[in-house]
Structure 1
Protein backbone atom coordinates (compact mmCIF):
# COMPACT_ATOMS: atom_id res chain seq x y z
CA UNK A 1 0.00 0.00 0.00
CA UNK A 2 1.47 3.31 -0.95
CA UNK A 3 1.68 6.25 1.44
CA UNK A 4 -1.13 8.28 -0.12
CA UNK A 5 -3.63 5.41 0.08
CA UNK A 6 -2.60 4.63 3.64
CA UNK A 7 -3.01 8.28 4.66
CA UNK A 8 -6.43 8.45 2.99
CA UNK A 9 -7.53 5.21 4.71
CA UNK A 10 -6.46 6.55 8.11
CA UNK A 11 -8.32 9.82 7.44
CA UNK A 12 -11.52 8.01 6.42
CA UNK A 13 -11.36 5.67 9.44
CA UNK A 14 -10.81 8.64 11.76
CA UNK A 15 -13.75 10.48 10.20
CA UNK A 16 -16.05 7.45 10.48
CA UNK A 17 -14.97 6.78 14.08
CA UNK A 18 -15.51 10.41 15.05
CA UNK A 19 -18.93 10.40 13.38
CA UNK A 20 -20.01 7.27 15.26
CA UNK A 21 -18.77 8.74 18.54
CA UNK A 22 -20.67 11.98 17.88
CA UNK A 23 -23.91 10.16 17.05
CA UNK A 24 -23.52 7.99 20.16
CA UNK A 25 -23.01 11.03 22.41
CA UNK A 26 -26.00 12.86 20.90
CA UNK A 27 -28.29 9.83 21.32
CA UNK A 28 -27.09 9.31 24.90
CA UNK A 29 -27.84 12.94 25.76
CA UNK A 30 -31.28 12.77 24.15
CA UNK A 31 -32.16 9.53 25.91
CA UNK A 32 -31.33 10.93 29.35
CA UNK A 33 -33.57 13.96 28.67
CA UNK A 34 -36.58 12.10 27.30
CA UNK A 35 -39.78 12.29 29.31
CA UNK A 36 -42.39 9.82 28.18
CA UNK A 37 -46.09 10.71 27.92
CA UNK A 38 -48.48 8.21 29.48
CA UNK A 39 -52.20 7.88 30.06
CA UNK A 40 -53.26 6.41 33.42
CA UNK A 41 -53.93 3.02 31.78
CA UNK A 42 -50.49 2.95 30.17
CA UNK A 43 -48.84 4.02 33.41
CA UNK A 44 -50.45 1.09 35.26
CA UNK A 45 -49.25 -1.39 32.62
CA UNK A 46 -45.56 -0.45 32.48
CA UNK A 47 -42.90 -0.70 35.16
CA UNK A 48 -41.62 2.80 35.88
CA UNK A 49 -38.74 3.33 38.30
CA UNK A 50 -39.63 5.37 41.39
CA UNK A 51 -38.63 9.05 41.15
CA UNK A 52 -38.56 8.95 37.34
CA UNK A 53 -40.07 12.01 35.67
CA UNK A 54 -43.07 11.35 33.45
CA UNK A 55 -45.82 13.27 31.71
CA UNK A 56 -49.28 12.04 32.59
CA UNK A 57 -52.21 13.12 30.46
CA UNK A 58 -55.92 12.68 30.87
CA UNK A 59 -59.03 14.29 32.29
CA UNK A 60 -59.41 15.75 35.77
CA UNK A 61 -61.84 13.42 37.50
CA UNK A 62 -65.04 15.07 38.71
CA UNK A 63 -65.33 15.63 42.48
CA UNK A 64 -61.66 14.75 43.03
CA UNK A 65 -60.12 18.22 43.39
CA UNK A 66 -59.10 19.11 46.96
CA UNK A 67 -57.45 22.50 47.50
CA UNK A 68 -55.52 23.43 50.63
CA UNK A 69 -53.83 26.80 50.10
CA UNK A 70 -51.42 26.34 47.22
CA UNK A 71 -51.49 22.55 47.61
CA UNK A 72 -53.94 20.74 45.40
CA UNK A 73 -54.67 17.05 44.97
CA UNK A 74 -56.82 15.54 42.26
CA UNK A 75 -57.18 12.46 40.09
CA UNK A 76 -56.35 12.12 36.42
CA UNK A 77 -58.38 9.55 34.54
CA UNK A 78 -58.66 8.14 31.05
CA UNK A 79 -62.01 6.61 32.04
CA UNK A 80 -60.35 3.21 32.48
CA UNK A 81 -57.73 3.87 35.16
CA UNK A 82 -57.18 6.71 37.61
CA UNK A 83 -53.96 8.13 39.09
CA UNK A 84 -53.78 10.47 42.07
CA UNK A 85 -51.80 13.69 41.57
CA UNK A 86 -50.52 16.22 44.07
CA UNK A 87 -49.27 19.67 43.11
CA UNK A 88 -47.96 22.63 45.07
CA UNK A 89 -48.36 25.85 43.14
CA UNK A 90 -50.75 27.91 41.10
CA UNK A 91 -52.83 25.91 38.65
CA UNK A 92 -53.60 27.25 35.14
CA UNK A 93 -56.79 29.25 34.60
CA UNK A 94 -58.20 26.49 32.38
CA UNK A 95 -57.79 23.85 35.11
CA UNK A 96 -61.16 22.52 36.22
CA UNK A 97 -62.92 19.23 36.82
CA UNK A 98 -63.65 17.40 33.61
CA UNK A 99 -61.00 19.27 31.62
CA UNK A 100 -57.96 17.80 29.92
CA UNK A 101 -54.53 18.31 31.47
CA UNK A 102 -50.95 17.12 31.30
CA UNK A 103 -49.07 16.83 34.59
CA UNK A 104 -45.28 16.60 34.63
CA UNK A 105 -43.54 15.19 37.67
CA UNK A 106 -42.20 12.18 39.54
CA UNK A 107 -44.07 8.99 40.26
CA UNK A 108 -43.75 8.20 43.98
CA UNK A 109 -45.74 5.29 45.50
CA UNK A 110 -48.24 5.25 42.60
CA UNK A 111 -48.93 8.98 43.07
CA UNK A 112 -47.67 11.62 40.69
CA UNK A 113 -46.02 14.51 42.50
CA UNK A 114 -46.37 17.15 39.81
CA UNK A 115 -43.84 19.89 39.18
CA UNK A 116 -45.84 21.47 36.35
CA UNK A 117 -49.42 21.28 35.17
CA UNK A 118 -50.51 22.19 31.65
CA UNK A 119 -54.18 22.70 30.85
CA UNK A 120 -55.37 21.51 27.47
CA UNK A 121 -57.93 23.33 25.37
CA UNK A 122 -59.57 22.85 21.99
CA UNK A 123 -58.75 24.76 18.81
CA UNK A 124 -61.55 27.29 19.46
CA UNK A 125 -59.99 28.69 22.65
CA UNK A 126 -59.69 32.49 22.93
CA UNK A 127 -57.92 34.17 25.84
CA UNK A 128 -60.34 36.23 27.97
CA UNK A 129 -58.61 39.53 27.06
CA UNK A 130 -59.12 38.91 23.34
CA UNK A 131 -62.63 37.54 23.83
CA UNK A 132 -63.74 40.72 25.66
CA UNK A 133 -62.32 43.07 23.01
CA UNK A 134 -64.07 41.32 20.10
Structure 2
Protein backbone atom coordinates (compact mmCIF):
# COMPACT_ATOMS: atom_id res chain seq x y z
CA UNK A 1 0.00 0.00 0.00
CA UNK A 2 1.39 3.35 -0.98
CA UNK A 3 1.79 6.23 1.38
CA UNK A 4 -1.09 8.21 -0.17
CA UNK A 5 -3.48 5.26 0.15
CA UNK A 6 -2.51 4.70 3.78
CA UNK A 7 -3.10 8.36 4.57
CA UNK A 8 -6.50 8.30 2.80
CA UNK A 9 -7.54 5.17 4.73
CA UNK A 10 -6.55 6.80 8.04
CA UNK A 11 -8.49 9.96 7.19
CA UNK A 12 -11.60 7.97 6.22
CA UNK A 13 -11.37 5.86 9.40
CA UNK A 14 -10.92 9.01 11.52
CA UNK A 15 -13.97 10.64 9.94
CA UNK A 16 -16.02 7.47 10.49
CA UNK A 17 -14.94 7.37 14.15
CA UNK A 18 -15.90 11.03 14.61
CA UNK A 19 -19.28 10.32 12.98
CA UNK A 20 -19.98 7.37 15.29
CA UNK A 21 -18.94 9.36 18.37
CA UNK A 22 -21.13 12.32 17.32
CA UNK A 23 -24.12 10.04 16.79
CA UNK A 24 -23.70 8.47 20.23
CA UNK A 25 -23.39 11.85 21.95
CA UNK A 26 -26.42 13.32 20.17
CA UNK A 27 -28.60 10.29 20.92
CA UNK A 28 -27.61 10.42 24.60
CA UNK A 29 -28.39 14.15 24.80
CA UNK A 30 -31.73 13.71 23.06
CA UNK A 31 -33.01 11.45 25.84
CA UNK A 32 -31.78 13.83 28.59
CA UNK A 33 -33.11 17.15 27.27
CA UNK A 34 -36.15 18.62 29.03
CA UNK A 35 -37.85 21.55 27.36
CA UNK A 36 -39.35 24.55 29.13
CA UNK A 37 -42.97 25.53 28.50
CA UNK A 38 -45.32 28.12 29.95
CA UNK A 39 -48.98 27.31 30.70
CA UNK A 40 -50.02 29.27 27.58
CA UNK A 41 -47.73 27.13 25.39
CA UNK A 42 -49.12 23.95 26.95
CA UNK A 43 -52.67 25.19 26.29
CA UNK A 44 -51.83 25.84 22.61
CA UNK A 45 -50.13 22.51 21.98
CA UNK A 46 -50.36 19.90 24.72
CA UNK A 47 -47.23 17.73 24.78
CA UNK A 48 -47.34 13.95 24.54
CA UNK A 49 -47.94 12.30 27.97
CA UNK A 50 -44.60 10.49 27.66
CA UNK A 51 -42.70 13.77 27.19
CA UNK A 52 -40.98 15.26 30.24
CA UNK A 53 -40.78 19.04 30.31
CA UNK A 54 -40.43 21.97 32.68
CA UNK A 55 -43.44 24.11 33.44
CA UNK A 56 -42.76 27.62 34.69
CA UNK A 57 -44.82 30.54 35.85
CA UNK A 58 -46.33 32.00 39.00
CA UNK A 59 -48.22 30.07 41.66
CA UNK A 60 -51.79 31.37 41.37
CA UNK A 61 -53.20 33.10 44.45
CA UNK A 62 -55.61 30.93 46.43
CA UNK A 63 -54.75 27.77 44.51
CA UNK A 64 -52.46 25.93 46.94
CA UNK A 65 -53.92 22.96 48.86
CA UNK A 66 -52.34 20.11 50.80
CA UNK A 67 -54.17 16.84 50.46
CA UNK A 68 -53.73 13.37 51.95
CA UNK A 69 -50.47 11.44 51.51
CA UNK A 70 -48.33 14.61 51.16
CA UNK A 71 -49.97 15.53 47.85
CA UNK A 72 -49.62 19.23 47.08
CA UNK A 73 -52.04 20.71 44.56
CA UNK A 74 -51.58 24.19 43.10
CA UNK A 75 -52.04 26.10 39.87
CA UNK A 76 -49.24 27.61 37.78
CA UNK A 77 -50.16 30.62 35.67
CA UNK A 78 -48.49 33.04 33.30
CA UNK A 79 -51.58 35.30 33.42
CA UNK A 80 -52.53 34.12 29.92
CA UNK A 81 -53.34 30.52 30.88
CA UNK A 82 -53.30 28.36 34.01
CA UNK A 83 -52.46 24.73 34.57
CA UNK A 84 -53.16 22.55 37.63
CA UNK A 85 -50.11 20.87 39.16
CA UNK A 86 -49.90 17.86 41.47
CA UNK A 87 -46.69 17.27 43.41
CA UNK A 88 -46.15 14.53 45.95
CA UNK A 89 -43.39 15.44 48.35
CA UNK A 90 -41.99 18.27 50.39
CA UNK A 91 -42.10 21.68 48.74
CA UNK A 92 -39.14 24.09 48.97
CA UNK A 93 -39.16 26.48 51.93
CA UNK A 94 -39.57 29.53 49.67
CA UNK A 95 -42.60 28.10 47.86
CA UNK A 96 -45.69 30.31 48.22
CA UNK A 97 -48.55 31.77 46.23
CA UNK A 98 -47.72 34.63 43.89
CA UNK A 99 -44.08 33.58 43.52
CA UNK A 100 -42.19 32.12 40.57
CA UNK A 101 -41.90 28.35 40.29
CA UNK A 102 -40.46 25.82 37.86
CA UNK A 103 -41.82 22.28 38.02
CA UNK A 104 -40.48 19.30 36.08
CA UNK A 105 -42.67 16.35 35.13
CA UNK A 106 -45.34 15.12 32.68
CA UNK A 107 -48.93 15.83 31.67
CA UNK A 108 -51.42 13.20 32.86
CA UNK A 109 -55.11 13.64 31.96
CA UNK A 110 -54.87 17.43 31.73
CA UNK A 111 -52.94 17.79 35.01
CA UNK A 112 -49.21 18.41 35.25
CA UNK A 113 -47.73 15.76 37.57
CA UNK A 114 -44.44 17.13 38.87
CA UNK A 115 -41.60 15.12 40.36
CA UNK A 116 -39.44 18.19 41.03
CA UNK A 117 -40.47 21.70 42.12
CA UNK A 118 -38.03 24.61 42.26
CA UNK A 119 -39.05 27.87 43.95
CA UNK A 120 -37.77 31.35 43.36
CA UNK A 121 -34.86 32.01 45.72
CA UNK A 122 -35.17 35.72 46.37
CA UNK A 123 -37.35 38.70 45.57
CA UNK A 124 -35.35 39.80 42.53
CA UNK A 125 -34.69 36.46 40.87
CA UNK A 126 -36.90 34.95 38.18
CA UNK A 127 -35.74 31.95 36.13
CA UNK A 128 -34.86 33.26 32.64
CA UNK A 129 -37.38 30.96 30.95
CA UNK A 130 -40.20 32.14 33.23
CA UNK A 131 -39.25 35.81 32.77
CA UNK A 132 -39.19 35.48 28.97
CA UNK A 133 -42.57 33.69 28.96
CA UNK A 134 -44.10 36.45 31.13
CA UNK A 135 -42.54 39.16 28.91
CA UNK A 136 -43.87 37.42 25.80
CA UNK A 137 -47.40 37.45 27.23
CA UNK A 138 -47.12 41.10 28.33
CA UNK A 139 -47.31 40.39 32.08
CA UNK A 140 -43.75 41.28 33.06
CA UNK A 141 -43.04 44.35 35.12
CA UNK A 142 -39.46 45.54 34.81
CA UNK A 143 -37.63 46.29 38.04
CA UNK A 144 -36.40 49.86 38.19
CA UNK A 145 -33.02 48.74 39.44
CA UNK A 146 -32.78 51.76 41.71
CA UNK A 147 -31.53 51.28 45.22
CA UNK A 148 -33.71 52.74 47.97
CA UNK A 149 -32.35 55.98 49.36
CA UNK A 150 -30.52 55.44 52.62
CA UNK A 151 -31.25 57.62 55.59
CA UNK A 152 -28.40 59.66 57.10
CA UNK A 153 -26.57 57.94 59.89
CA UNK A 154 -27.29 54.37 58.75
Q: Normalization by structure 2: what TM-score?
A: 0.75
State the shift of 1:46 in Å. 2.6
Q: Is 1:75 paired with 2:84?
A: no
Counterpart of 2:112 in structure 1 is 112
Counterpart of 1:88 in structure 2 is 88
CA distance in 1, matches of 2:123, 2:63: 26
* Aligned residues: CA RMSD: 1.6
Which 4+ runs in 1 deviate beyond 2 A? 121-125
State the shift of 1:51 in Å. 2.7
Q: Structure 2 regions of 5+ residues with no counterpart?
A: 126-154
CA distance in 1, matches of 2:9, 2:123: 56
Counterpart of 2:19 in structure 1 is 20
Counterpart of 2:145 in structure 1 is none
Counterpart of 2:4 in structure 1 is 5
State the shift of 1:83 in Å. 0.5
Q: Deviations over 1:29-82 (max 9, x none)?
A: 101110001111112223411132111000000111111241110100000000
CA distance in 2, matches of 1:124, 1:45: 29
- Count residues in correspondence: 124
Q: Structure 1 regions of 5+ residues with no counterpart?
A: 126-134
Counterpart of 2:45 in structure 1 is 46
Q: Is 1:102 paired with 2:102?
A: yes
CA distance in 1, matches of 2:25, 2:99: 37
CA distance in 1, matches of 2:50, 2:5: 52
